[in-house]
Amino acid sequence: MKIETIKTTPIDGQMPGTSGLRKKTRVFMEPRYLENFIQATFDAIGGGTGKTFIVGGDGRFFNKDAIQTIIKMAAGNGAAGVIVSQNGILSTPAASHLIRLNKADGGFILSASHNPGGIDEDFGVKFNAQNGGPAPEGLTAKIFDATTSIEQYKTVDVDDVDLSSIGTTHYGDMQIHVVDAVTDYQALMETLFDFAAIRALFASGFTMRFDAMHAVTGPYATAILEQTLGAAAGTVVNGIPLEDFGKGHPDPNPIWAKDLMDLMMSDASPDIGAASDGDGDRNMIVGHGAYVTPSDSLAILAANAHLAPAYSDGLAGIARSMPTSAASDRVAAKLGIGSYETPTGWKFFGNLLDAGKVTICGEESAGTGSSHVREKDGLWAVLLWLNILAMRKQSVADIVADHWNTFGRDYYSRYDFEAVETEKANKMMQDLRGQFGELVGQSHAGLTVTSADEFSYLDPVDGSISKNQGVRIAFDGGGRAVFRLSGTGTQGATVRLYLEQYSGQGGDIGLDTQTALQNVRDAAFAISAMEATIGRIVPDVIT
């Protein structure tokens, strides 16, 4: 096998974001674009010689071609082995598990997560490190630096690998193992949850609808929910992964999973509805007539985790991203365990998990997970909910109501303003920063500002500091507004406004969410001068 060294030059704009490098699919298909980034990653980790890597993706358009390119480049860079999922279909949490299970040196995950797929939509690639988690900021900085000085990449000129058949083949000395990632992932889930109790729940007549959104979780959910746990055939819908996700938007929220929401709000509703996203790391939970916000879901899962075998001895701590509501903080306080507030991005939970400081983590963007892997895990969250329902023998709505009665309710919503002109979005954020010295004590929409700052995170494990992680404005009476520019889009800027209002214990927990948040929202609009600066106050998506 002859290694080919191909001359190249740097390509602008290959800076990894919160979850790797994301661009339009056609950009990744341009000559040298993917190859430059992959070679830069090999260079940043000290080369590929003698190392083993996991490779797979969510099945979106260009997934199969990209996998073949990466396998050949791994061989060109001297890798000892590549473990790739059958047909290249691999959920992000399953990829994390495979890295840890096989003690691999990292993995390449091909996905743009919840973004639409297709030749005219989005594609992405990220590197996960040896612990199974997303590359930390120090490593992503090295990768970017390597993209700015790259002069060549290495590959081999051989036939593509047959990804349809499980087994081992070779490129010279490099072994290529095609594995059944679904079976490996299911085996892990069986160590965490009481499958017998969940089987009994379904056997009792309990009903469910799981919308896989034509994304990667379909095969996993079908194997576990229907074939193993006894859920009725047809419980999993849209279960076949498609390159364009059936021309849908694989983001599990009430807007993009509207069919599921309509069913759950109807008289024909099953007992629980759930959905997952493009790469399987996010989740949505809905009971009959009861949507569970991701922030509440995190708090409820943490409060009830002891009902599942893997967490019966209690939790070490709970971590949440800064924009996520404080609901889980209240659970941690009651349990007498640590609570941690981190920047957005699952990589920030990695050190806390590795150090044993936390067991469960979550983000308001529908991601929850635990120490079983180093990624958020959509199907894990669904299975934990099922385990809790099996043990408590209450409805989703009753469990949520009990939680609010115990801890109070954190009314919460996120407004997404998509494809905003980057210059205008940056100006709004800069103008907000310029007000920090004068905001405290001001009143807007009947609320008095009690604090205003830019969130900065000091990692308690390695001492690293992450600055400029979002603007926070707190109000008297338990209100909060957070402004942040998202790093998951592929064009323009996505402005995210997070609104929160705590009811207090014994307060009114029965208000309409948007009504409860009206004053916080109006104050946020006024302080940010949003309409004047970006020209919009009507969001594209409200969750």
| Active site (catalytic) residues | 113
What CA–CA distances, in Å, run from 79 to 3, 48, 318? 12, 5, 37
| Pair of tokens at residue 208 | 């469910």
The angle, 0 to 180 degrees and rounded to 10, between the axes of the packed helices 396-407 and 294-304 is 80
Report the C-alpha gap between 57 and 98 in whole angstroms.
13
CA 492 to chain centre: 21
β-pair partners for 56: 109
What gap in Å lies between CA 274 and CA 380, rounded to an integer? 12
Question: For residues 357 and 72, is the Cβ–Cβ distance under 8 A?
Answer: no
What angle do the packed helices 378-392 and 195-203 form, to 10 degrees?
Answer: 70
Structure tokens at 434: 């310029």
User: Bridge partners of 500?
Assistant: 412, 480
Tell me how far CA of residue 165 lies from CA of 68, 85, 86, 101, 355, in angstroms: 15, 10, 7, 21, 38
CA distance 217 to 91: 7
In degrees, rounded to 5, the angle at the alpha carbon of residue 508 between the alpha carbons of residues 505 and 513 is 115
